[in-house]
Amino acid sequence: MITREGEMESETFIKLVFYMFIAPFWLAWKISVLAWNFVFKPLNQSISDKRADTKQKQLDEAAQTARDARNAARQQQLDALQAAAPKSLPESLRATIQINSVTVADREQRRINRVFADDSIVYVEGEERTEYAVDMILELPEAQRAIIKQYNLHEYVIEDEPRYSSDQLAQIEQQHDGRAAAFKNPNVAEIFNDQTREIMNMHKAARLQTKLGDYLVSPCTKLFKNRVEANQYAEKLKTKILPQIKTILEANTAGESPQTIQL
């Protein structure tokens, strides 16, 4: 029969064994976990981030030559448009419109896998493709420019459409998904996904408004993925948008003479 004193002695013996043999390993494990979470893991992540930044700079430098060539070709197109515009001062609204093929390239997301840190994300230059720019130089007489300034007509909204197409939204969401997958900690990934959902909702609700003053930027440019859409927009400029601007200017140019209305 085990007495009370025997139970106490057994308990004391077990504690003694724990503190002599097990506690040091347990304490060392806890210290190791703390050191990893608060010292080595942040340091390792910092090193990985710096390596990714270095890699990104190398990728950007490698792609710079192609970007410079595209920008130079684009500038030649705009210079040619400017040269084609009449040199005389406009007596009324006057527009010079040209559709140009433009070489573009998106920045594509790439993930660098890490073992002891969050994966790194870098962006590389994607394959070049052709899009079509509708370029326009819109000229107005000084009197009409004065009218625009006097009545703040540059803020008048002419076009109102979704800022992002369905393809653009899908691309943005894919990039966010790739970034979330780079996190090793599922809690961090979930927080990032929550933020992504909020951002995507804002993108879906965003509107792109083109105001009267935007058409006066020389040149005014709008990009399209194919020639058919570019031709349609150029025709829209000629038959709808420019006549609308002309009507707005003429309505505000008229003097404030009395009007009699009979019903």
Distance CA 74, CA 82 (A): 13
For residue 187, what pLDDT is reported? 85
Q: Is 211 left (phi over 0), alpha (psi -120 to 50) or beta?
A: beta
Contact 110, 121 (CB under 8 A): yes
Structure tokens at 163: 């800022």
Residue-averaged pLDDT of the chain: 86
Highest mean pLDDT (candidates 4-13, 36-45, 145-154, 176-185): 145-154
pTM of the full structure: 0.75
Label residue 136 exposed, middle or buried (CB < 10 Å: 0-12, 13-18, 19+).
buried
For residue 8, what pLDDT is reported? 59
For residue 52, what pLDDT is reported? 87
Bridge-partner residues for 223, per DSSP? 133
* Rg value, the chain, Cα: 33
Tell which wins on pLDDT, 3 or 150: 150
For residue 178, what pLDDT is reported? 85
The pLDDT tens digits for 38-71 are: 766 777 788 888 888 889 899 889 899 999 999 9
The string of DSSP letters for 24-76 reads HHHHHHHHHHHHIIIIIHHHHHHHHHHHHHHHHHHHHHHHHHHHHHHHHHHHH
The string of DSSP letters for 235-251 reads HHIIIIIHHHHHHHHHH
Contact 150, 232 (CB under 8 A): no
Rounded to the nearest 10°, the torsion over CA 142, 143, 144, 145 is 40
For residue 259, what pLDDT is reported? 63
For residue 230, what pLDDT is reported? 97
Nearest to 140 by CA among 99, 100, 96: 96
Element (H, E) at 158: strand 157-162
Nearest to 99 by CA among 229, 245, 209: 229
The pLDDT tens digits for 235-247 are: 999 999 999 999 9
Residue 256: pLDDT band (50, 70, 90) is low
Q: Residue 140's CB: how many other CB atoms inside 10 A?
A: 20
Bridge-partner residues for 100, per DSSP? 133
Percent of the chain predicted with pLDDT > 70? 83
The pLDDT tens digits for 190-219 are: 888 898 899 999 999 999 999 999 999 989
Check pLDDT > 70 for residue 9.
no
Contact 99, 133 (CB under 8 A): yes
